[in-house]
Structure 1
Amino acid sequence: MKLWSVVAILLVCSMLYGEQSKDVQKEELKKAMQSFASALELIQHGILYNKPWEMRKGAQLLDRSSKDFVERHGDALVYHMPDDPKFARSYAKYTALRIRDNIDKLSSSLGGPKDYSNTAAYYTHILNECVGCHQKIRQW
């Protein structure tokens, strides 16, 4: 009788821990997304108000936030697409690669003359990748 009680308690505790870790993962994913939004906001503000230092700061923040994104948040992404978790990870991974490529292009475009049309185009590509991922993974 005591053995079954201990097993039941351990089972309940492990289930509660699993739910808690899901919540922690979702919260960390939310913080990462907020960091992306802040970076994109800095880039956009820099483009609109001719402030290359803000664009650089936003690109650096976006670069830091996007490094190893899928490795850090892949489990939380799966919760949005439980029917096909392999696709969710794969799609997010390739989206992150395309975003990082556009971050590099955006950063290099800031070193040239003050023609921000390329910078704005790379910003738009990054934003489109974000929206595309949300459409696929979160099924907007």
Structure 2
Amino acid sequence: MKKALLMSVLVSGALFAQPEHFQPDRMKNMADMETAMSTIQKGFLYDNINVVKNGVKDLKRTVKHTESFMKEGVGENKINNKMYAQKQAVAISNMADEISATFAKGDRYSAANNYLLILSKCLSCHQTIRSW
């Protein structure tokens, strides 16, 4: 009886452990993107180009890892999740470059608008991919 119980615990643990493999990466990458966005915002508030550039660099590095927060297949709204997330990631990366460029030129309002566009892309992706 004890062997059967132990065996069932081990088998169920092995079965349920597989999906958890991607969970820490997704959570870490989401937290890293949030930290990068906070760094950019802090750079705006302190009017510090170096802080903004560090946030942009961190955001661009993290957004490349879209595979970590993917739900496979086609979503409820008939959108290919992987392609959608990759498209959003490219757009976020391009807007992050715009933040650096416009902030460096002294155009803080355009940089802030690009920041809001990135935030909008993040929310859009969460709503579409994560079904929020």
1:108 to 84, 88, 101: 101
Query: Would you say how many aligned residue pairs link Structure 1 and Structure 2?
Result: 124
Taking structure 1 as reference, are residues 85 and 16 closer, same or farther at Cα in structure 2, changes over 3 Å only? farther
Distance between the aligned counterparts of 1:89 and 1:42, measured in 2? 27
The aligned residue for residue 96 of structure 1 is 89
Taking structure 1 as reference, are residues 21 and 107 closer, same or farther at Cα in structure 2, changes over 3 Å only? farther
| Structure 2, unpaired ranges of 5+ | 1-6
The aligned residue for residue 37 of structure 2 is 40
Shift of 1:63: 0.9
Shift of 1:103: 1.2
| Structure 1, unpaired ranges of 5+ | 1-8
Distance between the aligned counterparts of 1:127 and 1:16, measured in 2? 38
The aligned residue for residue 129 of structure 2 is 137
Shift of 1:24: 2.1
Identity of aligned residues (%): 24
TM-score for both structures, normalised by structure 1: 0.75
Distance between the aligned counterparts of 2:23 and 2:73, measured in 1? 10
The aligned residue for residue 120 of structure 2 is 128
Taking structure 1 as reference, are residues 102 and 63 closer, same or farther at Cα in structure 2, changes over 3 Å only? same
Q: Do the aligned residues in 2 keep the contact of 1:35 with 1:62 (CA within 8 Å)?
A: yes
